Amino acid sequence: MTTTPTTNATGSTAVSGDGTATSKRRRGKRQRTHPLFWVGLALLSLVIILPLLYMLLTAFKSVQESQTVPPTFWPGEPSLRAFQTLFFTDADSPVLRWLANSLIAATFHAALVVVICSMAGYALARMEFPFKKTLFGIIIATLFLPPFIFMMPNFEILNAFGWLDTLLAIILPGAAGAFGVFFMRQFFSTFPVALEESARIDGAGPWKTFTSIVLPNSRAALVTLTVLSFLANWNDFVFPIYVLFSPERLTLPVGLSKLQGAYTVDYPVIMAGAALAAIPVLILFVFVQRYVIEGVASSGIKG
Amino acid sequence: MSATTTSGTVARSGPATLSRKKESRFGGVYGSWATPYLFLLPYLILFITFVIIPAVFGIWMSLHNWDFLLPGKPFVGLENYTALFDSSSVQFEPFWDSIRATAIFVVASVPFLIVLPLGLAVLLNRKFPGRTFFRATFFAPFVLGVAVIGLMWRYLLDPSFGAVNGLLNAVGLPSVNWITEQPWAWISLVGVTIWWTIGFNAIIYLAGLGDISAEQYEAAELDGASKWQQFRNVTVPGLRPVMIFVITTTILASANMFGQSYLITQGAPGTSTRTAIIEITERGLSQYRMGEAAAMSYVLAVFLGLIAILNFYLLREKK
């Protein structure tokens, strides 16, 4: 769980399983980095970092200071007023509740995806049964259907179950997506059969083999899928806006968009809310960035 | 779930138990005929409920005057579809305006979203200290999600006191109405999207670059190829499969644009940045005219399907 280049280089080879890291390194050795390269890289990084820093700093400004022309960068008189408003004074914007809702939804969603997709992916990778190819084909085909065609019918289906305005409305439909199954199936297809065979010789049944041999040796893929699912759910925006209504049921992204309506000109409060949503994922990202990046990188190679 | 699955497989006795020690009747893993279905069951329940049923049910909804709040949902046949192609209907103008807005955004954003991340990936593909740090930095905006990014840029792009205009003024340039005037509104939305997602495509390119063998570059260098020639003749052809993936997914992602417009311009100026997804979701899930919205979503899906096929065909043909 460090971010040193060495760990990450090893980690990436372990996940992708091809020799990319070595070939990059070999080629890289001959390249010399020009001073201009560093200047360019530093400028580009500032373009990414400065807006985020400005957002955070604005949260500590007064309303007046957030609207001064020319704008200030550092808060003249730093205050926690925006956070106080957000946390304690506004009953219609229970931000800490939204934070908790987001955490609960994203955690349950990620856990659910990993459990059901690894089971289904394993069956599709390793077991034989009638119409297996057809089933896999149907699952894959749905990857190509645009998500918006499911919104109207899923709204009605959630309503039929009585799940509108509950966290189930944002935990379950997304977990039915085909990506996780595809991702796990591809991973299990490359898993060495010998390990499973030796487990079988020891008398282990399929479930035992799966839980005690296959899963413990698939940690990288499982973590990648967990993290990608968590982030996708944490940031989910378009559907949650319409299936969550009550102030205390909202997730952070939905709540934030309502803040924009309620605090039109109080940018410190809005930026405090945005920063509150940004900081947990940025911290998480620092620890798991190699899994996220490897997961995204592999999607292009496979696709 | 685990308990049921275990007992389900163990309880199945007789011939299956007898052959357990010897051979695998079902490919790599051993078990009864029911084992694969038990492994698939939890996922399939969700898949059928939230993917298969809605895919069919949505078409059914689109054939009705389907108002979520009203008990009666009269069958109207293809009326919701024909209305989209009939200029006298109520839906006609908002629908095609939103399609045009989406098309403008796709055309304006996709070239940048394909080329700029490639440049970044080539830059990051070198070996230098801190490479992982920079790679993570450029990817970071993407993990923040559109809600945070949208609110942040709405403030930064504010016409009267935003930091972007502040920066322009500081170097002697006039202020720009970033969100209230065209073409600036489109420039803002494209710019924010680039800022938000540049790391995503760059990471995919980086993986592709890593798959091009060093030998190919060495051979090109022996032949006296310049850096640019190497890029043109080794890097670009080597990236072709990744490129097809990036172009296709980027077109689809841009066609699905929602949050940036919803939060930054709120469809303004006028309705010029009101995208198709905003039109569909507002009509269906806010005004609850769900039959009309479902019909729109299928028409849009067909358009996107045609574009994806065309794009795939064009990229394949060149080879």
pLDDT tens per residue across span B170-218: 999 988 999 988 899 999 999 999 999 999 999 999 888 888 888 888 8
Q: What is the mean pLDDT of chain B?
A: 85
Residue B295 in contact with residue B84, Cβ under 8 Å? yes
**Looking at CA atoms only, how far is residue B317 from chain A in angstroms?**
18
* Of the candidates A152, A240, A153, A149, the residue with the CA atom closest to the CA atom of residue B283: A152
Q: What is the pLDDT of residue A10?
A: 31
Phi-psi region of A203 (alpha: psi -120 to 50; beta: other; left: phi over 0): left
Dihedral of CA B122/B123/B129/B133: which sign? negative
Q: How far is CA A301 from CA A294, B9, B243, in A?
A: 11, 37, 10
Mean pLDDT along residues B44-51 = 96
Which pLDDT band holds residue A13 (cuts at 50, 70, 90)? very low
CATH number, span B93-317: 1.10.3720.10
Residue B290 in contact with residue A155, Cβ under 8 Å? yes
Q: What is the pLDDT of residue A12?
A: 36
**Looking at CA atoms only, how far is residue A96 from chain B in angstroms?**
16
Residue to substitute from B45, B50, B209, interface A, most A β-carbons within 10 A:
B50
Q: What is the pLDDT of residue A35?
A: 83
Residue A296 in contact with residue A225, Cβ under 8 Å? no
Query: What is the rounded distance in angstroms from the CA atom of residue B319 to the CA atom of residue B313?
Result: 11
Which pLDDT band holds residue A29 (cuts at 50, 70, 90)? very low
State whether A45 and B43 contact (CB < 8 Å): no
State whether A200 and B24 contact (CB < 8 Å): yes
* Preceding peptide of A70 cis, ω within 30°: yes
Two tokens, residue A234: 């944490």
* β-pair partners for A189: none
**DSSP H helical ranges for chain A:** 5-16, 20-28, 35-58, 63-66, 81-84, 95-126, 132-142, 151-161, 168-175, 179-189, 193-201, 206-209, 219-235, 238-243, 252-262, 267-302
Two tokens, residue A178: 């085909």
Residue A127 in contact with residue A196, Cβ under 8 Å? no
Provide Rg for chain B, Cα atoms: 26
Residue A23, SS3 per DSSP: helix
Q: Is the pLDDT of residue A91 over 80?
A: no
Residue A237 in contact with residue B145, Cβ under 8 Å? yes
Query: What is the rounded distance in angstroms from the CA atom of residue B62 to the CA atom of residue B55?
Result: 11
State whether B143 and A285 contact (CB < 8 Å): yes
Dihedral of CA A118/A119/A125/A126: which sign? positive
Mean pLDDT along residues B312-317 = 75
Q: What is the pLDDT of residue B14?
A: 38
Q: Which residues contact B180 (CB under 8 A, 6 or more apart)?
A: B159, B268, B269
Give yes or no for B151 touching A (CB within 8 A).
Answer: yes
Q: What is the mean pLDDT of chain A?
A: 84
Which pLDDT band holds residue B258 (cuts at 50, 70, 90)? very high
Residue A130, SS3 per DSSP: coil
Kindly report, residue by residue over A238-263, the tens digit of the pLDDT: 999 999 999 899 999 999 888 888 87
ipTM: 0.83
Residue A24 in contact with residue B125, Cβ under 8 Å? yes
Q: In chain A, whose CA is at the least distance from the CA of B250?
A: A300
State whether A51 and B153 contact (CB < 8 Å): yes
**Looking at CA atoms only, how far is residue A254 from chain B in angstroms?**
8
User: What domains lie within chain A, and their CATH numbers?
Assistant: 95-302 (1.10.3720.10)
Q: What is the pLDDT of residue A300?
A: 63
Query: What is the rounded distance in angstroms from the CA atom of residue B271 to the CA atom of residue B86?
Result: 20
Query: What is the rounded distance in angstroms from the CA atom of residue A112 to the CA atom of residue A114?
Result: 6
Q: What is the pLDDT of residue A253?
A: 92
State whether B120 and A44 contact (CB < 8 Å): yes
DSSP state letters, B34-62: THHHHHHHHHHHHHIIIIIHHHHHHHHHH
Contacts of A286 in chain B (CB under 8 A): 136
Mean pLDDT along residues B42-70 = 93
- Closest CB from B120, B137, B281 relative to A242: B281
Indicate the range of A55-59, A197-201, B85-89, B143-147 predicted with least confidence: A197-201
Q: Is the pLDDT of residue B145 over 70?
A: yes
Dihedral of CA B260/B262/B265/B267: which sign? positive
For the entire predicted model, the pTM comes to 0.84
Q: What angle do CA B9, B12, B16 make, to 5 degrees?
A: 95
